[in-house]
Amino acid sequence: METKSSAETASGVPAAESPVLERGRGRVLWWWSLAGFGVLAVSALIAVSVLAATYQPLSFGGTGNSAELFPGLPAGQGIHPVNTVGGLHEDFYIPPQRGTFSLFVDIYNGGSYAVTIESVSLPSGGPVTLAGPVRYSTPGMGGSDMIPPPISRVLHIVVLRPGQDLFLGFPVRTWPCAQQYGWASEPSFNVKMRFALFTRTVAMPWGSLGDSLVMHAPVGRPGDSGIFCLPHTVLLRQSAAR
């Protein structure tokens, strides 16, 4: 004679077939499935957040360089490319300038998503300083086929779509005197961009080959030893310090 287990005796059916136990096992499996889905969702959210926080599709565009004039802003004098041996890199030499002149750059969105350009700026304490608001234009702006178009606006917030260029004009100043044997450089300008919920500041070169701005160190005043200045430069004593 077979002896039934206590569970079988109490229910009249084998323990493995008890509806209560089956329902309990189903709840456990459901909770484990829900927990697994939650882990996957959190992992996906973290991955998307990391992508958004690190996404940087900007590069220097293929139109022009920093030595070119931006429409509506005054041109610099004597600015020209240097250090071009080998074609792997170049810089732009800026001699002392009188008054405001302009620098032109072209930034390009080479990514798959649009980004918002909130502002652009120059590093503080550099050899060139902003002399007014940065201006911008985009291809075809104002119905013109010129690049950059002759119409521009003050830069505030601009959405830069994939494959689109943004032309920027920097009105700048530098000191009219400089050291004969001292040098200064400005390797980049700053672009504040936003993608999704994340904002970051990106350092951009002045040309497609990683270009920098180079110049004789802008210091001194007429008559100082080792200093040369633009012709007819007159500086008040209190304005000599920078």
Task: State pLDDT tens for residues 145-179.
Answer: 788 888 899 999 999 999 999 999 999 999 999 99
pLDDT confidence of residue 64:
62
pLDDT confidence of residue 97:
93
Q: How many CB atoms lie within 10 A of CB 47?
A: 10
| Average pLDDT for runs of 10 along the chain of length 242 | 51 55 64 64 51 82 72 90 81 93 94 96 94 94 82 94 95 95 95 93 91 94 93 70 45
pLDDT confidence of residue 27:
66
Taking Cα atoms as reference points, which of 59, 62, 63 lies closest to residue 148? Answer: 63
The one-letter amino acid code at 4 reads K
Q: Are 101 and 66 in contact (CB under 8 A)?
A: no
Sign of CA dihedral 226, 232, 236, 241: negative
Taking Cα atoms as reference points, which of 218, 225, 241, 226 lies closest to residue 97? Answer: 218
Taking Cα atoms as reference points, which of 116, 98, 96, 94 lies closest to residue 107? Answer: 116
pLDDT confidence of residue 242:
47
- Alpha carbon distance 102, 131 (integer Å): 9
